[in-house]
């Protein structure tokens, strides 16, 4: 029986939701905790060869997202005034803004810029870090079939596709299993 195991279920495939499972698993692995991430439903986007390159932030249905503009935007005269006005009027983006054409791309670009400016690793870099730390990256077989994905559509270095029972058994084989759903 294994000692401690962290088993994470990644079911969301947006840019902002790609970070928690990758950061938690790589951190746990660096602390000596055997870790695995089970990518199901839209979480498969995180390990899909093409979709990983185009992950976006979804402002609709994300009320916790603050309306924050990068400092570089605030330095320009007109953009800085608009950014200041928007931040003072809306502490978070109003849901209606999410349906404005181009808003998803705008919010995604802002998030990527803030991450780059603050030295945050990209999703691709975190996936590689997980692989180097021997985190098991397990694609969900049922979801692959549902979405018509082939194993070849996914990035290299993954575990063979598995089902829910395989993943649950992985977690429960540990003396101290920890299961997170993110």
pTM of the predicted protein model = 0.83
CB 84 within 8 Å of CB 68: no
| 3-class SS of residue 150 | coil
Mean pLDDT of 85-111: 72
The CB density around residue 99, as the number of other CB atoms within 10 Å, is: 10
Write the CA distances from 85 to 66, 75, 82, 97, 179, integer angstroms: 14, 14, 5, 15, 43
Domain spans, the chain: 2-55+120-181, 71-117
Phi, psi of 181, deg, nearest 5 = -115, 110
pLDDT higher than threshold 90 for residue 85 = no
Question: pLDDT tens digit string along 108-151?
Answer: 888 899 899 999 999 999 999 999 999 999 999 999 999 999 99
Model confidence band, residue 92 (pLDDT cutoffs 50, 70, 90):
low
Question: pLDDT tens digit string along 13-62?
Answer: 999 999 999 999 999 999 999 999 999 999 999 999 999 999 999 877 66
Question: Higher confidence at residue 67 or residue 112?
Answer: 112
Model confidence band, residue 71 (pLDDT cutoffs 50, 70, 90):
low
Q: Which superfamily is assigned to 2-55+120-181 in CATH?
A: DsrEFH-like (3.40.1260.10)
Polymer length in residues for the chain: 182
């Amino acid at each position: 029986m294994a000692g401690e195991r962290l088993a994470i279920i990644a079911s969301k495939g947006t840019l902002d939701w790609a970070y928690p499972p990758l950061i938690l698993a790589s951190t746990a692995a660096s602390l000596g905790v055997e870790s695995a991430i089970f990518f199901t439903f839209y979480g498969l986007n995180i390990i899909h060869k093409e979709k990983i390159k185009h992950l976006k932030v979804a402002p609709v249905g994300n009320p916790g997202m603050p309306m924050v503009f990068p400092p570089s935007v605030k330095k320009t005269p007109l953009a800085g005034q608009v950014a200041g006005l928007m931040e003072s009027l809306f502490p978070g983006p109003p849901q209606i803004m999410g349906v404005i054409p181009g808003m998803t791309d705008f919010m995604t670009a802002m998030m990527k810029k803030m991450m780059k400016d603050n030295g945050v690793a990209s999703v691709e870099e975190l996936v590689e870090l997980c692989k180097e730390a021997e985190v098991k990256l397990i694609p969900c077989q049922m979801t692959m079939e549902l979405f018509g994905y082939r194993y070849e559509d996914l990035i290299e270095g993954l575990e063979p596709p598995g089902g829910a029972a395989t993943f649950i058994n992985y977690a429960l084989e540990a003396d101290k299993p920890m299961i997170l759903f993110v």
